Amino acid sequence: MKFTLNGKTRNVEAPPMKRLLDVLREECGLTGTKEGCGEGECGACTVILDGLPVNSCLVPFAQVRAADVTTIEGLRGHPLQESFVLEGGAQCGICTPGMILAAVALPKNAGRDEIRTGLAGNICRCTGYTAIYRAVEKAAKTRTLRRAGN
Amino acid sequence: MGASRKSGAVGRNVPRKEGLDKVTGRAKYVDDLHFAGMLHGRTVRSTIPKGTVTGIRFEFDRKGFTVADFRDVPGRNAIALIELDQPCLVEREVRHFAEPILLLAHENREQLLDAERRIAIEYRASEPLYDPARSPKCFKEIVVEKGDVAGGFSEADLVVEGEYRSGHQEQLYIETNGVIAVPENGGVTVYGSVQCPYYVHRALRVLLDLPAEKVRVVQAETGGGFGGKEEYPSMVAGHAAILALKSGRPVKIVYDRVEDMVATTKRHPAVIRHRTGVKRDGRLTAIDIDVLMDGGAYMTLSPVVLSRGVIHATGPYRCENVKIHGRVVMTNTPPNGAFRGFGAPQTQFAAEVHMERIAEALGMDPVRLREANAFRPGDTTATGQKLGKDCSAVKVLREAVRKSDFRAKRRAWRGTDRGIGLSLFFHGSGFTGGGEVKLASKASLELTETGARILVASTEIGQGTRTMHAQIVADALGIPYGNVEVAVADTARVPDSGPTVASRTCMIVGKILERCAQEIRQKLGKTSPREYLAKHGPLVVTKEYAGPDGLYWDDDTYRGDAYGAYGWGCDVVEIERDPITFEVRPTRVTTVQEIGKAIHPVLAAGQIEGGTAQGIGYALLEEVAMRDGRMANAQLTNYLVPTTLDTPEIGVTILENPYPHGPFGAKGVGEMPIDGPAPAVINAIRSLGIDVREIPATPERILESPRSGAAGG
């Protein structure tokens, strides 16, 4: 079955009801997507599917036919990645890939309340979220600066 | 910070060592690892809380499966910890729900799960016991006595009594427990999500009857621990190792969320009674405390959890006449164990809610009452420990009150649905009593061509161990942070630095590393590492824990210096109550914590922010519903931990009052932040005139609580 994964067309054979999470980790070898609860509550397995963040543990593989999927491995040098390191947004790191992808999907120049609501489906047990907000806000500033400067 | 310090690493927010790997998805956690020929393993567990196993039937074709039970244990069938009371696999007697009975392994995970459903275990059930007050078995009893309690009560103008209750709490690391056991070299190598590689190492030696060199434990990147991966991984590793040795193949066991919540350790529930004598002016004349903790079915670490709980039970207050009686007992629920704070969150919750009630009884301002009694340098604790200059109780209290505008808000919000409450707390860094001397931890530093490599068993579990240790070594050696490497916590390579627990990784292990670095620096003199290595060959310096002179502890009488140092904290929590649903929503936390020295301010603040959020969950949301000895809400759908929408803004202020024997003055920071939020939340609810004495304060509990008649205090 064909779909686009991190910008490249892939043809992957897997049972149609297999969880996208498992297809990514096992068939595609992309272990950056993590399982936290397996029931769509924690958001650790968040990937971007056709522009929207989804819990890949709840998506059957059949549903990504011809779709566009971005995992953490598909982000290369995104300002959020740097700001998560510098601001302490990643501690144990297990929620981090999903959290960053959920943050990627936030509206541009989101305010604190929008960030809070947009990340409400992603549980972090380490940070208390404060450092994550700082990281998201810093990355937004970096992007603005880059656009202005480059 | 002065310009002269700019080249140093300590006190600066250097990039986290493994940060890039974590934000790119490259960091390898145990479930990301694969070995050729690997099987998946599964633990078959009891479905009754108490009884005996009378028969086991396998209703599937066992071809292709590895099946193991207690008879496959090569050594002693026990998880070696404080005692050897907990079997690795049930022989006959079942003491709790979800107790491991059988192990299964197969190449295919789906077939494995299907087979598990086709195993029928028959039992003869017996009557379980859930009420700790009626338990016939006490794991540990501790009595702390100071002064003359009866005399203290006779001096009192007023006696205030109360009972406070706290429930289980699940650590809820987002990565569940997991290991891979690989049979090799006539022994076994275990890769796992663990806090304490040497705990697992010792447990496997006993369980498998293997010499030390045949057992190797390697930490994989670990997705959170919070105490939940202190002792339990020995069980998971034991199971995987038994299957690996029997099958001759690598075996991976990774728990799903339900299994992790149903079977693994939780914070001990506690019932704590206070009786306090107090003068009209607020001076405490006598403190009498009874602590009862529910240990669950086996001992695990309960005695030491109780110990820390008891020692912190007065809160940070001076009183010449103190008696604390603590017990932790057996019940037929899964064993409770280590969780950040380790007994102190329970006892300080009780102490601080009780303090608020004393203020109400006296008609006294709660800040003034705390100021009048808070520890000052030179005061003695319940165990008779004389506090040094780094005692900052009054300082954190004043700073938190000022920063939060506590008094003005309390006045302004009287009679509304907004409330504000505070808590003052402390937390001892390092193992309790003589624990650090007994541990005799070691750390090593190896000279490299460009700098040094840290060799410690301390694990990075999110808190920043690698980064913080590298900062200490960089400055002690006088080299750039980037030139310090950190070896994987692998028992074949690193010495036993003790467990990664008890707020000891910076203050205790960091200090040993600092001493290693000082010796290397002295050896190098003006020589560069490269020149030194060329001339003298490899250099590894290993040092052992050396406590400060004069530290004294008597385990029989519970007198002496319980901890090398204490951190000090004060939380102010602001809340809003929904008048219809009785739901309480925290809106802001102001927290001031004195931790000696913040080696890495962002990481230290991260510990405080994260611990505070967990404490908010403990106070309001996180209810483990135990029904018939089983966690009934063992999934994230109905065990609620704080999301972004439940977590208030957390304003952190770090104060630094250096501890002379910590590296660069640092004390511990990891656990203290979880001591304060629960009592501050409950005291904020009290400010609305609601007398809550049990956490979590769910809307149902708030609705059922009596009016305190002391709104606004």
Confidence of residue B712 (pLDDT cuts 50, 70, 90): very low
Q: Please check the confidence at residue B623 and state whether its pLDDT lies above 70.
A: yes
| Nearest residue on chain B to A99, alpha-carbon basis | B23
Q: Does A83 touch chain B (CB under 8 A)?
A: no
- The per-residue pLDDT for B2 is 36
pTM over 0.90: yes
Query: In this predicted structure, what is the pLDDT of residue A150?
Result: 47
Distance from CA of A115 to the nearest CA of B (A): 9
Q: pLDDT at residue A24 above 60?
A: yes
pLDDT tens string B45-62: 999 999 999 999 999 999
Average pLDDT (B258-274) is 98
User: What is chain B's mean pLDDT, rounded?
Assistant: 97
B1: confidence class by pLDDT, cuts 50, 70, 90: very low
What does the pLDDT read at residue A149?
59
Q: What percent of chain B has pLDDT over 90?
A: 97
Averaged pLDDT, A81-102: 98
Asked if residue B90 has pLDDT above 50, the reply is yes
What is residue A143's predicted lDDT score, i.e. its pLDDT?
76
For residue B709, name the pLDDT band (cuts at 50, 70, 90): low
Cα separation, B216 vs B190, in Å, equals: 6
Q: Which of B19, B176, B643 sits opposite A120 (nearest CB)?
A: B643
Does A84 touch chain B if contact means CB atoms closer than 8 Å? yes
Closest CA to B503 of B563, B443, B457, B416: B563
pLDDT of residue B506: 98
pLDDT (0 to 100) of residue B560: 98
Average pLDDT in the B344-348 region? 98
**In angstroms, what separates the C-alpha of B602 from chain A's closest C-alpha?**
6
For residue B6, what pLDDT is reported? 55
ipTM over 0.95: yes
Tokens of B152: 């203290």
Q: At what angle do helices B393-404 and B366-373 cross, to 10 degrees?
A: 160
Instruction: Say what the pLDDT of residue B3 is.
Output: 38
Asked if A94 lies within 8 A of B175 by C-beta distance, the reply is yes
pLDDT at B713: 36
**What pLDDT score was predicted for residue B711?**
45
Helices (H), B452-509: 465-477
B173/A94 CB distance under 8 A:
yes
Residue A107 CB: number of other CB atoms within 10 A? 9
A23 pLDDT more than 50? yes
Least confident of A130-144, B296-310, B384-398: A130-144
CB neighbour list of residue B402: distance below 8 Å, 6 or more residues apart: none
Q: Chain B contact for A126, CB < 8 A? A: yes
pLDDT of B404: 98
Which pLDDT score, from 0 to 100, does residue A108 have?
Answer: 87
Q: Is the pLDDT of residue B4 over 70?
A: no
A83 contact residues in B (CB cutoff 8 A):
none
Contacts of B193 in chain A (CB under 8 A): none
- Between the alpha carbon of residue B519 and those of residues A96, B440, B445, B498, B542, the distances in Å are 39, 19, 10, 22, 10
Structure-token pair, residue B82: 């404080």
User: How far is B140 from B302, CA to CA, in rounded Å?
Assistant: 8
Chain B interface mutation, best of A91, A104, A106, A134, highest count of B Cβ atoms under 10 Å: A91
- Pairwise CA distance, residues B658 & B667, whole Å: 8
Mutation site, A25, A69, A125, interface B, largest B CB count within 10 A? A125
**A39 has a chain B CB within 8 A of its CB:** yes
Express each pLDDT in B437-490 by its tens digit.
999 999 999 999 999 999 999 999 999 999 999 999 999 999 999 999 999 999
